[in-house]
């Protein structure tokens, strides 16, 4: 058994980005991950016609809200929320995935102190869960 890694946001984010990248490849989608910690786009998808789709992956280990302070709504830009529900270390567990067009983000965002946050309840009220249709019309 591997040594348990201390919980931190960087590890959670990287794991979520590669999880989403894996899901895309399983669907036969050509996608590329951006490297670095201070990037606006986490994954770029190139469609057959050459157009690009951009994904910003936001992840949380528990059952919590997700910070979206740095998101700027744009065309062909989506936020992919990955929620591990306190099962991050359980590799047999698949997290909940919510795909939200960035232009719809404002309607599900709450302000908490000086942060913009999306609550899991707001994601569940809409048709965002596992909705890859937003990206590709699958």
DSSP symbol at 69? T
CA separation for the pair 59, 84 (Å, rounded): 8
Distances (CA, A) of 138 to 27, 74, 83, 133: 10, 21, 22, 5
Q: How many CB atoms lie within 10 A of CB 31?
A: 17
**What's the angle, vertex CA 122, arms to CA 117 and CA 126, rounded to 5?**
135
Q: Global pTM?
A: 0.88
pLDDT digits (tens, 9 = 90+) for 36-91: 666 778 999 988 888 899 999 999 998 778 999 989 899 999 999 999 999 999 99
Phi, psi of 10 (to 5 degrees): -60, -50
Give the number of C-alpha atoms closer than 13 A to the C-alpha of residue 71, restricted to the C-beta side: 28
DSSP 3-state assignment of 117?
strand
The domain ranges of the chain are 9-132
Binning pLDDT at 50, 70 and 90, where does residue 126 land? confident
Q: CATH number for the 9-132 domain, one of 3.10.50.40, 1.20.120.420, 3.40.1350.10, 3.30.450.20?
A: 3.40.1350.10
């Amino acid at each position: 058994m591997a040594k348990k890694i201390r919980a931190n946001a960087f590890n959670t984010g990287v794991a979520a980005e590669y999880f989403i990248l894996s899901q895309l490849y399983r669907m036969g989608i050509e996608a590329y991950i951006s490297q670095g910690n201070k990037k606006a786009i986490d994954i770029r998808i190139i469609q057959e016609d050459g157009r690009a789709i951009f994904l910003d992956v936001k992840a949380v280990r528990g059952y919590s809200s997700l910070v979206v302070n740095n998101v700027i709504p744009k065309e062909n830009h989506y936020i992919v929320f990955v929620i591990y529900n306190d099962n991050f270390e359980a590799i047999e567990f698949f997290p909940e995935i919510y795909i939200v067009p960035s232009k719809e983000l404002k309607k599900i965002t709450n302000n908490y102190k000086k942060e913009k946050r999306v609550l899991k309840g707001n994601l569940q009220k809409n048709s965002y869960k596992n909705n890859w249709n937003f990206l590709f019309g699958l």
